[in-house]
Chain A
Amino acid sequence: MNDQDDEIVREFLEESRENLDQLDRDLVALESRSTDPELLAQVFRTFHTIKGTCGFLGYRHLEGITHAGENLLSALRDGSLHLDAASTTSLLRLVDAVRSVLATVEATGTDGDDDHAALIADLERHLHPEATVADEPAAAPAVESAAKVAPAEATVRIDVAVLDKLLDLVGELVVTRAQIGALDDEEEDTPLSAPYRRLRLLTDELSDGVMAARLQPIATITGKLGRVVRDLAADLGKRVRVEIEGTDLGVDKTVNEALRDPLLHLVRNAVDHGIELPDTRVQAGKPAEGLVRIRAHRAAGRIHLELSDDGRGIDTDRLVARAIATGVLSDADAAALSPQEARQLVFRAGLSTKDGVTKVSGRGVGMDVVQAALHQIGGSIAIDSAPGQGTVTRISVPLTLAVVPTLVVRCAGVRYVLPQLDVVEILRLEDDGSGAPVALRDRCLPLVHLADVLRLPAAQGRSGRSVAVVRAHGGRIGVILDAVEDTAETIVKPLPAALRPIAAYAGVTILGDGQPALVLDAAGVAASADVAVDASPLRDSDDAPAPPALLVVRDAAGRGLAIPLAAVRRIEQVPAGVVDRTSGVAAVPHLGGALPLFDLSGVGSGEVAQVVVCDSSIGPVGLLVHRVEDLVASVGLDDLTTRTIDVEDLVAAGPGVPS
């Protein structure tokens, strides 16, 4: 077989696998919408495509079974036969058979010796009652399907490596753009200005386009779940209907892959532990058929998945009893738990409410593993349940793992990148870091200097004043740095082979100015540091409410101040000379009156400043600042070198606030 044939076969295998996944989804959907002509036609077309290619490539056995399937489908499509559970099962068995033959083709280059006579007989059995429709209709649909398949040509298969390469190049383009931008005079138009503005727009669009091309419909994962539920329910003697919404949502391939196992686990749990046997359901006044619903939507740059069932819910009493029995909880602690807290016990290792171990969901490896897997990709999971009515599990994950929010830090003159996911908070040291542990909110925080971890020569100085408190090994440790310079959205790339054994690094990246930088691995840094981490449990888990978003502003001396965003109403530009400082009170004209002002800017009265208008107990007040810099929403930046301002404190202390 020559290269070209190889290529054709490989494409056939890949395309067929996708088609089979689609068939899994469609057949399960078809069971509940068996008369939907569109769906039936689609299933028929998919089979027909596979069959056609098999014939072309000379895979006779494969052609034989797909042909039998096509006959059955054509009878279903023209209405002479009605799809029921038995024929769906036969068709799903066919899908499995085709899948296994494809594996044989991939391994051996032939479609094997098995002629699948039993399966073909099984498929034909459904046709026998109406023996007249056996072969005839196959010809006519062929023409129609050929016409309908045509639009599929609009898609092209692309190797992910090609997309990654494009992403690299876009990153370089952004850097080059910034370099050109530095040449462009902001104040007045030069011949460069117009093309530069255009370049800016084009690079942004190109960058968005390449990112979008990396997305994959979430259906590649959720679609498989329908089949899982169906097979599992059949095994357990349960009746379960699946509803899947939001299947065309685009998700980064890496996120999609990271979601596969957790979702599979949750779905199995729902069918195995959640949905009751039909009799039990009827006794409880519920329909005999249970419902598992998977909904996906996108909001605020994240994917939100909701998996709900109308089963028996989580038995919190049993969970608590189990927790006491295994020593996880004391009786007193258990009594003090709220129902919500009790439900959170499912995330503790080794606690399972199911007394008998089933082959389906297995033993104790459970929700704690799911939670850990999701945390690893920056996701979160929350569970809600009403006894007897069902369970709702909500998952939220980032759209992409390719872009990670990070802090750019400096150590001995070199910049490193620290993923924000690992950072709990940033502290400022009052004296030089001697390496001695410091007390942080009544707890002892072990400290280590990054320069020591990286074994940098002592001559390069230990000027560290900033401490990044990072999560590591179930506890936390403070890493002393020279400075935290910036936050950045970073594309993390794998380490080059020579650096892979170094535990302190997680990857490499390219900074905004084109310089490569090493991405630090918090756990690896802590491990190389050889100090005990503070292992007391973190109170600020992902399930805690997010810290309030802050508006970061600077005064003329460059000092940072953070204003809680909740209090901020709007930001105004104040032209020079408008600030009225008469009678010792700074004020700007505001809705016909004067806005009380608190001057935090440190600028002279002749300079331009910005006013952040905030709500307070005495009505709107203005905070005069030198410039508004950034919005920070994420972990721990509230403790930064930046001072957080309480508007009420200002109002209470502020001199001469006009009534």
Chain B
Amino acid sequence: MTARRICTFTADGVRLGFEIEHVLEIVRADVDTPVPLAPTGVVGLLNLRGRIVTVVDARTRLDLRPGDAGSTHVVVRNADEAVSFLVDREGDILDVDAPLLVELPATAGDTLRSLATSAYLVDGETVVVLDPSLTLSVAST
């Protein structure tokens, strides 16, 4: 297995990441517009330079503990459109390699497990890499 670059961030203290080729950009902004009737996880719409993107809240989506709404948007390409993943804080870009692969921590919930592709142990901390299309394709309720 070759090295991968992971764009990391945190939500509810959990270190998470997407492979960098899926990430378009990271912006700080408040969510502009709430969307009533939206599927669970969708918290609103954001105007990204004239492009309207759906904002998916990481804590809700991953079944983590609710907290103060973050304002860091990890904007990811998902099936021809840009979707924002709203997280607590952005992290570093990490180069990871097969020797660092670990099992998902035992504390990880079912939802997190079902959306993760792999996990790496970096500097004593586990980074869970998420599948962008599973994570951001929120089914309508």
Tell me, yes or no, whether B50 is within 8 Å of chain A by CB: yes
Please indicate the chain B residues that have their CB under 8 angstroms from the CB of A454 in the complex.
36-37
- Whether the pair B50, A498 counts as a contact (CB closer than 8 A) is no
Q: Known contacts being A168-B51, A496-B54, A496-B83, is A515 close to B36, with CB within 8 Å? A: no
Complex Cα gap A498–B33 (Å):
15
Please indicate the chain A residues that have their CB under 8 angstroms from the CB of B34 in the complex.
414
- Whether the pair A497, B52 counts as a contact (CB closer than 8 A) is no
- Whether the pair B33, A515 counts as a contact (CB closer than 8 A) is yes
Tell me the chain A residues, 484-509 only, with Cβ under 8 Å from chain B.
Answer: 493, 496-499, 501-502, 504-505, 508-509
Tell me, yes or no, whether B137 is within 8 Å of chain A by CB: yes
Q: Known contacts being A454-B36, A455-B36, A516-B33, is A501 close to B50, with CB within 8 Å? A: no
- Whether the pair B37, A515 counts as a contact (CB closer than 8 A) is no
- Whether the pair B53, A496 counts as a contact (CB closer than 8 A) is yes
Output the least CB separation between B102 and chain A (Å).
Answer: 32
Tell me, yes or no, whether B63 is within 8 Å of chain A by CB: no
Please indicate the chain A residues that have their CB under 8 angstroms from the CB of B42 in the complex.
498-499
Tell me the chain A residues, 535-589 only, with Cβ under 8 Å from chain B.
Answer: none
The interface size bin for chain A is 20 to 34
Output the least CB separation between A491 and chain B (Å).
Answer: 10
Closest residue on chain B to residue A514 by CB atoms:
B47
Complex Cα gap A456–B52 (Å):
23
Output the least CB separation between A46 and chain B (Å).
Answer: 36
**For the complex of A and B, 9 pairs with smallest distance between CB atoms:** A168-B50, A454-B36, A172-B50, A501-B140, A516-B45, A496-B54, A516-B33, A508-B52, A516-B52
Complex Cα gap A172–B140 (Å):
30
Tell me, yes or no, whether A102 is within 8 Å of chain B by CB: no
Please indicate the chain A residues that have their CB under 8 angstroms from the CB of B122 in the complex.
none
What secondary structure prevails in chain A residues at the interface with B? mixed
Tell me, yes or no, whether A284 is within 8 Å of chain B by CB: no
Q: Known contacts being A502-B37, A516-B32, A518-B33, is A508 close to B45, with CB within 8 Å? A: yes
Q: Known contacts being A496-B53, A498-B39, is A414 close to B138, with CB within 8 Å? A: no
Tell me, yes or no, whether B35 is within 8 Å of chain A by CB: yes
Please indicate the chain A residues that have their CB under 8 angstroms from the CB of B78 in the complex.
497
Interface residues, chain B, CB within 8 Å of chain A? 32-39, 42, 45-47, 49-54, 56, 78-79, 81, 83, 137-138, 140
Tell me, yes or no, whether A169 is within 8 Å of chain B by CB: yes
Q: Known contacts being A493-B52, A497-B81, is A516 close to B38, with CB within 8 Å? A: no
Closest residue on chain A to residue B78 by CB atoms:
A497
- Whether the pair B47, A515 counts as a contact (CB closer than 8 A) is yes
- Whether the pair B50, A515 counts as a contact (CB closer than 8 A) is no
Please indicate the chain A residues that have their CB under 8 angstroms from the CB of B33 in the complex.
414, 515-518
Tell me, yes or no, whether A181 is within 8 Å of chain B by CB: no
Tell me, yes or no, whether A277 is within 8 Å of chain B by CB: no
Closest residue on chain B to residue A454 by CB atoms:
B36
Tell me, yes or no, whether A510 is within 8 Å of chain B by CB: yes
Contact with A497, one of B45, B49, B79 (Cβ below 8 angstroms): B79
Complex Cα gap A516–B49 (Å):
11
Closest residue on chain B to residue A413 by CB atoms:
B34
Which of B35, B78, B81 has the largest number of chain A CB atoms within 10 A? B35
Complex Cα gap A548–B42 (Å):
44
A-B contact pairs, 27 of them (CB 8 A): A168-B50, A168-B51, A169-B50, A172-B47, A172-B50, A454-B37, A456-B36, A496-B81, A497-B79, A497-B81, A497-B137, A498-B38, A498-B39, A498-B56, A499-B35, A499-B42, A501-B140, A502-B140, A504-B37, A510-B47, A510-B50, A510-B52, A514-B47, A515-B47, A516-B33, A516-B45, A516-B46
Complex Cα gap A501–B137 (Å):
13
Complex Cα gap A171–B51 (Å):
10
Please indicate the chain B residues that have their CB under 8 angstroms from the CB of A504 in the complex.
37
